[in-house]
Amino acid sequence: MRSIDYSKYYWKTDFISLRQPTENDWEFVIQNMYDSESRFFFEDEIELPIDVENYKKKFVENVTQNNRNYLCFAIENNEGKHVGLANIFGIDEKNGVFGPIGIQINVEDRKKGYAIAALRMLGTYMFNERRMHKWNSGYMDGNGPSFGLHKKLGFEIEGVRKDMTYHNGKYWNEVLCGITKEQFFMNKEVD
């Protein structure tokens, strides 16, 4: 196959690219299943031990098939290494709202800017191409990385659901936040 010129391709920057997940990406998810603290913040619970083969089948069935209300992307760095996954949930075309976006980055690839770059690209896509007006999101109080991502993107806290999740002997609050299209593009950090 000829070399592809990606210089004008929407889903690729000089830092990351997003693509549809493939069957081979399930190994990334399995590796991250063993980071229980991150999984708690991602799923709001400590997951039970998994059967790897059954999980692989579910991954292939669910994650590789996008639909109108849910999209999934694999995140690669500029060297082509798979560094994470991003999921867009709750796409509501009628009301012009979406969210949250779930994002998971490999343990060894965290704090390198991949998550914020992917979220900026996806936010831009949802607002400019899908005609969305508002991005709803949230995170577990105490989840420092998620708090930081939301702050960098310009989200506003809209409320707190107290004592929503029980974990490690205490109750955790859920922080609800949102950002409109105008707010997203006013943020100086967004391209």
Domain positions in the chain:
16-186
pLDDT value for 5? 82
Q: Which residues of the chain have pLDDT under 50?
A: 190-191
Instruction: Give the span between the Cα atoms of 110 and 108, in whole angstroms.
Output: 6
- 126's CB contacts (< 8 A; 6+ apart) are 88, 91, 98, 132, 135
- What's 16-186's CATH class? alpha beta
pLDDT value for 191? 46
Q: Which of 151, 77, 74 is nearest to 112 (CA)?
A: 77
pTM of the prediction?
A: 0.85
The Cα diameter of the chain in Å comes to 57
pLDDT value for 4? 82
pLDDT value for 44? 61
HSE of 81, CA atoms in CB hemisphere, 13 A: 9
Instruction: Give the span between the Cα atoms of 105 and 112, in whole angstroms.
Output: 10
- Please state the separation of Cα 160 from the chain's center in Å: 21
Beta-bridge partners for 98:
135
Provide the pairing of β-strand 134-140 with 97-98: parallel
> What are the tokens at 113?
């800017």
Q: Which of 45, 191, 48, 21 is nearest to 123 (CA)?
A: 191
